[in-house]
Structure 1
Amino acid sequence: MGLPADGHVHSQFSWDANQGAMEETCARAMELGLPAVSFTEHVDFTPFRAGFLAEKFADLVTDGILNAPVLDVAGYLESVERCRAKYPELRILTGMEVGQPHLHVTEVAGLLAQGTFERVIGSLHCLLDGDEYAEPWELFPHRPADEVFRAYLAEIPRMVRGSDAFEVFTHVDYPVRSWPGGSEAFRPTDFEDELRHALSALAAGERVLEINTRIPLHPTILKWWREEGGRRVTFGSDAHLPEALGHGLGEAATLAESNGFSPGSKPEDPWIASN
């Protein structure tokens, strides 16, 4: 079996991927033999503490708070159509990755109304810290790692209840990316109750769990997804550069197969759990 579709890819239309390039990414997909890619560009309406991003994105930062620009929908959709014409053998899906969609229901609805988006991903990047929102890497220096992760997991059911705009939930282990070195190593079993509650809420809300391969998903989490009623998974490299496309997808597909998931009817479809 070849690689599965990469369902989470960024291009130059994502505010933090200015080195990305949609056409070059499509060319890379052809080289890798990927059957499909989804360009899920960042949509971030939540102003958040810039931290180490302040220097790189100085034009977006005021008084230490980063305000991301709104997605250029018209330019994005035009670029997708050019790529579809240039690479007709590659299935190219439109999409977006919406951060904290439950906090911005009206704004997200307005953006979705501007075009057809075939893969809408929901992500939780920021948590409230005092009167500001901040990424986990901004929280860890002054809050215990276990407290941050529990707060993150507790927000997921609220996100499911508060937004029906997204079908796929990505990187359920997002804070682990920046897990502080001085803390005890991350172990899913330390957060079993909270993880199961979050996964159960996603499953009950009929959402799809993305196996994000920026870092490997702990196999125990996927096992619990099945046990909590999760029926579908997708795969996403979260690539912000063409050369990162497809990273870890083979290993993720093997993990999904070992947990009873198999490909859908079309290459870009979520994988489905067997009974």
Structure 2
Amino acid sequence: MKPLLDYHVHPGYSIDAENHSILEYCLQALNMGLKEICFTPHLEVDPVRRQVDWFVRLNGKLHPMDDLSWLDQYFLDIEQARSQLDNRELKIKAGLEVGYERGCERTIEKIIKNYPFDYVLGSIHCLEHQSISSWKESRLYFSSHNAEEACREYFQALKEAVQSNLFDCIGHLDLYRRHGERLLGTVLESVHEGIIEPILKEIAQRNMGLEVNTSSLRRGLTEFHPSREILLKARACGVKVFTVGSDAHRLSELGASIDQAVLMLEKLGLAVHTFTCRQPCPF
């Protein structure tokens, strides 16, 4: 079974990704037999981390993320790739991954409403302004918080992200497991019990999606983000929309383990979706 689509791809605009262009990723996708690719460069909005996160790579140089001229170039790159390649062979979607931060909803809304995104993925990357997606910063955060404290903080932020109604889908829902399991142990596998269900019900009520993110396997975990148990809870809570993404930050990661994620969703009776103009459609 070949991977057929990838809905979480970081081109060279993301400073934590290799400097590969939209077109390079599209050509790689064609070579792999992908039918659809969605780019999701980072957008971070936490003012406390302005000197850390608020940059993109533009023309090989660091560029302030809040100077939105980079988004103009991003959409130009998308259109150029679409015009150079046959849309019947590869559908190219313009997405964005937003690192949600409380109190920054108006900033996010202004950006996503002023550009023609196909897909806006909302993610919790930081807790108390420390990145839990970073090994270095995770060690600082988890050294001063136990599993219950960390997850209470994470799910409160997630609840507010969902209630903001800004996003089409929630990315790598249990991201706290990425480094947290090494630092706090397997207690993180079940700490969501009793906390996550109301959030999943709200996701379902809003017809939002959940991403199955395969990057966890590259980082030594044995399950995707989120875990199979959380996907079962999502199904029980009425979530209908699911996407799959490799979270690729380099060409070699494009489509990684997507076939396994799609197969797992099929076995659970859950439908993989794509997005166009921010509207979901079964794939």
Q: TM-score, normalised by structure 2?
A: 0.81
Distance 1:206 1:262, change over 3 A: closer
Contact 2:243/2:274 (<8 A) preserved: no
Q: CA deviation at 1:4?
A: 3.5
Secondary structure, aligned partner of 1:230: coil
Q: Is residue 252 of structure 2 the alignment partner of residue 251 of structure 1?
A: no
Equivalent position SS for 1:261: coil
Separation (CA, whole Å) in 2 of partners of 1:199 and 1:188: 17
Question: Which string of whole-angstrom CA distances, capped at 9 and with x for unpartnered residues, describes residues 25-83 of structure 1?
Answer: 1111111111101111111111456xxxxxxxxxx73xxx5444235111101111111
Instruction: Tell me if the contact between 1:77 and 1:94 (Cα under 8 Å) persists in the aligned partners.
Output: yes
Q: Which runs of no fewer than 5 residues in structure 2 stay unpaired?
A: 56-64, 133-137, 217-223
Partner of residue 178, structure 1: 179
Which residue of 2 is the match for residue 135 of structure 1? 131
Q: CA offset at residue 228 of structure 1?
A: 1.0
Off by >6 Å, runs of 4+ in structure 1: 265-268
Deviation of 1:264 after TM superposition, in Å, equals 5.4
Q: How does 1:129-168 map to 2 (within 5 A)?
A: 133-136=129-132, 137=138, 138-161=140-163, 163-168=164-169
Distance in 2 (CA, whole Å) between partners of 1:20 and 1:106 is 31
The number of equivalent residue pairs is 254
- How far is 1:102 from its partner? 5.2
TM-fit CA distance, 1:123: 0.9
Sequence identity percentage: 27
Q: Residues 157 and 198 of structure 1 are in contact (CA less than 8 Å); yes or no, is this contact kept in structure 2?
A: yes
Contact 1:9 1:245 in 2 (8 A): yes
Matched, 1:38 2:47: no
Which residue, 230, 235, 260 being the options, matches 1:226?
Answer: 235
Alpha-carbon offset, residue 154 of structure 1 = 2.3
Question: Which TM-score applies when normalising by structure 1?
Answer: 0.83
Closer, same or farther: CA 145–126 of 1 in aligned 2, 3 Å: same
Q: Which residue of 2 aligns with 1:95?
A: 95
Q: Structure 1 residues 118 and 102 mapped into 2: Cα distance closer, same or farther (>3 Å)?
A: farther
Whole-angstrom CA distance in 1 between matches of 2:196 and 2:156: 9
Task: Go from structure 1 to structure 2 and tell me whether the alpha carbon gap of 1:107 and 1:22 turns closer, same or farther (over 3 Å shift).
Answer: same
- Tell me the equivalent position of 1:52: none
User: How much does 1:178 deviate?
Assistant: 1.1
For residues 251 and 29 of structure 1, what CA distance do their matches in structure 2 show? 17
Pick the aligned partner of 1:85 from 83, 86, 89.
83
Deviation at 1:155, TM superposition (A): 1.9
**Quick one: distance in 1 between partners of 2:168 and 2:120?**
6
- What is the letter of the counterpart of residue 29 of structure 2? A
Partner of 1:124: 124
Give the RMSD, CA atoms, in angstroms.
2.5
